[in-house]
């Protein structure tokens, strides 16, 4: 039985008796994390317009890494009703996930959709055959979203195709990537200290999720990779981060491999890392703007396409450095200089037509404030 009408009726009724406030509600991955594009917008909003209340949707109020600033109100929202109450009284909602038909949007509210992957390999949403035939969970961003945020031509195309979105796209960059271009040494030190790191060089290993995967993700031969990296004479350590939808990574307990799967924000990890190895994750397209090395270890491409997802963009077409087995991966590491990585990053950026400004969060915040003032 479809009960969406109950929630729509509830939010309409709740709105009749509760005024809309100068308040912005943020949500990242359904409240699992304080992270991603919404985090960047939230923190920039406080800098530019400190008179707005900033509320963060969380499943748990625990903050083991102390990422959430004091000026952000942490609200534990366990069910739909508590979430919709907060949403109904907010003038703006910023999220990196879809908005379904269960919420009745109020007049004057401004919804910002940032999504969480601007340079995608995998097909998502309406680009996946049969998605539109599902009876529940269908995204209706075209009806309720006022602004989508993109950092490349590929990102805008994803909104048009996968979301079937026809509205305004602000192509000033993806807010979470601002810090990668700003490259603050002070922020790097804060993140390293938070993780208990020294001055070693860092490999970030971040494989994506496999559909239907219930157990911990298997990994590449990380000790062998680190041995190859250490041939440059530096000390190296690996930060291994599982996808949020998996149960973790089988990384063992070596001293130079650190499991950072519990760390909320991928952008922080990318900021401090010197090399990224991933597979089909859109983080590859983010990391190229740093000019540092990105290698795609796609050891299971045929199996992945057969059992998980087809590609909207084939990784090979995007001009990344690609390894199809461990020997090829080690060879790329041995043969590629810093200059080679930089050249490859430029080629990938050209392919995606990346348009990161380093000031994307500011552009979004100014658009939010403009919409608020126009609605008054």
| pLDDT digits 0-9 by tens, 41-55 | 999 999 999 999 999
Mean pLDDT along residues 308-313:
83
- The pLDDT tens digits of the residues spanning 351-366 come to 999 999 999 999 999 9
Question: Residue 12: what pLDDT?
Answer: 87
Both 84 and 204 in one domain: the answer is no
Q: Let me know whether 162 and 235 are in one domain.
A: no
374 or 15: which carries more pLDDT confidence? 374
CATH number, domain with residue 306: 3.40.50.12580
* Domain shared by 254 and 163, yes or no: no
Stronger pLDDT, 182 or 11, i.e. the higher one: 182
Three-state secondary structure call for residue 295:
strand
At residue 217 the predicted structure's pLDDT band, cuts being 50, 70 and 90, is low
Task: Indicate the number of domains in the chain.
Answer: 2
One domain, residues 127 and 211? no
Residue 179 in domain? no
Is the pLDDT at 319 greater than 70? The verdict is yes
**Which long-range CB contacts under 8 A does 127-132 form with residues at least 24 apart?**
127/158, 127/161, 127/162, 127/312, 128/309, 128/310
- Is 277 among the domain residues? yes
Residue 69 lies in a domain: yes
Q: Name the band, by pLDDT with cuts 50, 70 and 90, for residue 274.
A: very high
* pLDDT of the residue at 59: 87
**Residue 216: what pLDDT?**
55
Looking at per-residue confidence, does 15 or 71 come out higher?
Answer: 71
Percent of the chain at pLDDT > 90 equals 67
Label residue 213 by pLDDT band (50, 70, 90): low
How high does pLDDT run on average in the chain?
90
Q: Are 67 and 264 in contact (CB under 8 A)?
A: yes
* Tokens standing for residue 331: 């060879």
pLDDT level of residue 71 (50, 70, 90 thresholds): very high
| DSSP codes joined into one string, 170-195 | E-S--GGGHHHHH--HHHHHHHHHHH
* Residues 242 and 301 occupy one common structural domain: yes
Residue 300 has pLDDT above 70, yes or no: yes
Q: Dihedral of the CA atoms 341, 342, 347, 353 (nearest 10)? A: 130
Please state the rounded mean pLDDT for residues 270-275: 98
pLDDT of residue 252: 66
The predicted pLDDT at position 142 comes to 75
The domain in which residue 46 lies consists of 4-174+357-375
Phi, psi of 22, deg, nearest 5: -80, 70
Residues 327 and 366 reside in one and the same domain = no
Q: Does 228 have pLDDT greater than 80?
A: yes
**Alpha-carbon separation of residue 374 from 48, 104, 109, 141, 369 (angstroms):** 18, 21, 11, 21, 9
Number of H helices and E strands in the chain, helices first, is: 14, 13
So what's the pLDDT on residue 240? 94
Predicted pLDDT of residue 329: 97
Tell me, yes or no, whether 326 and 216 share the same domain: yes
Residue 206 pLDDT: 94
On the question of pLDDT at 62 being above 90, the answer is no
Domain match, 36 and 152 both: yes
Better-scored residue on pLDDT, 220 or 179: 179
How much is the pLDDT for 358? 96
Whether residue 293 is found in the same domain as residue 344: yes
What pTM, to 2 d.p., does this model score? 0.94
End-to-end CA gap in the chain: 39
The per-residue pLDDT for range 243-268, each reduced to its tens digit, is 766 666 777 667 899 999 999 999 99
201 and 115 share one domain: no
134 has a pLDDT exceeding 80: no
Mean pLDDT of 292-302: 91
pLDDT reported for residue 337: 94
Mean pLDDT (whole number) for 148-168: 94
Q: Which residues pair with 297 in a beta bridge?
A: 323
Chain-centroid distance of CA 350 in Å reads 21
| Position 137 pLDDT exceeds 70 | no
Q: Between β-strands 201-205 and 168-170, what pairing exists: parallel, antiparallel or unpaired?
A: unpaired
In the prediction, which pLDDT does 22 show? 97
Same domain as 298, residue 191:
yes
At 91, which CATH number? 3.40.50.11820
State how far the Cα of 284 lies from the Cα of 293, in Å rounded to an integer. Answer: 10
319: left (phi over 0), alpha (psi -120 to 50) or beta: left
> Rounded to whole angstroms, how far apart are CA atoms 222 and 256?
10
Residue 202 placed within a domain: yes
Kindly state whether residue 313 falls inside one of the protein's structural domains.
yes
Q: What is the pLDDT of residues 101-133, one digit of tens each?
A: 778 889 999 999 999 989 988 888 888 887 765
d(CA 341, CA 338): 5
Structure tokens at 103: 């919420």
> Is 341 a domain residue?
yes
Q: Are residues 157 and 47 in the same domain?
A: yes
């Amino acid at each position: 039985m479809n009960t969406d009408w109950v929630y729509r009726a509830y939010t309409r009724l709740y709105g009749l008796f509760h005024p809309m406030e100068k308040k912005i509600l943020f949500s990242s991955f359904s409240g699992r994390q304080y992270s991603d594009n919404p985090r960047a917008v939230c923190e920039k909003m406080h800098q530019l317009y400190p008179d707005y209340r900033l509320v963060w949707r969380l499943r748990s109020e625990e903050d083991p890494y102390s990422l959430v600033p004091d000026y952000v109100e942490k609200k534990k929202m366990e069910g739909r009703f508590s979430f919709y109450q907060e949403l109904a009284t907010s003038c703006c909602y910023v999220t990196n996930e879809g908005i379904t038909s269960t919420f009745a949007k109020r007049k004057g509210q401004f919804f910002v959709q940032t999504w969480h992957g601007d340079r995608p390999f995998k097909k998502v949403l309406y680009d996946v055959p049969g998605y539109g035939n599902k009876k529940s969970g269908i995204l209706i961003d075209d009806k309720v979203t006022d602004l989508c945020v993109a950092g490349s031509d590929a990102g805008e195309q994803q909104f048009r195709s996968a979301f079937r979105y026809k509205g305004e796209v602000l192509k000033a960059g993806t807010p979470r990537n601002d810090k990668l271009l700003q490259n603050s040494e002070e922020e790097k030190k804060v993140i390293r200290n938070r993780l208990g790191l020294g001055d070693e060089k860092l490999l970030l290993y971040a494989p994506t999720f496999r559909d239907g995967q219930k157990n911990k993700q298997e990994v590449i031969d990380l000790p062998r990779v680190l041995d190859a990296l250490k041939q440059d004479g530096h000390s190296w350590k690996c930060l291994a981060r599982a996808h949020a939808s998996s149960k973790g990574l089988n990384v063992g307990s070596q001293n130079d491999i650190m499991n950072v799967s519990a760390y909320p924000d991928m952008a922080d990890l990318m900021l401090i890392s010197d090399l990224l190895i991933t597979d089909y994750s859109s983080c590859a397209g983010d990391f190229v703007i740093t000019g540092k090395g990105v290698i795609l270890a796609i050891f299971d491409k045929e199996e992945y396409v057969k059992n998980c997802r087809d590609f909207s963009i084939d990784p090979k077409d995007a001009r990344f450095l690609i390894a199809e087995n461990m020997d090829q991966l080690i060879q790329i590491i041995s043969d590629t200089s810093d200059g080679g990585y930089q050249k490859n990053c430029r080629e990938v950026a050209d392919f995606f037509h990346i348009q990161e400004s380093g000031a994307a969060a500011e552009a979004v915040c100014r658009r939010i404030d403009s919409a608020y003032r126009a609605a008054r």
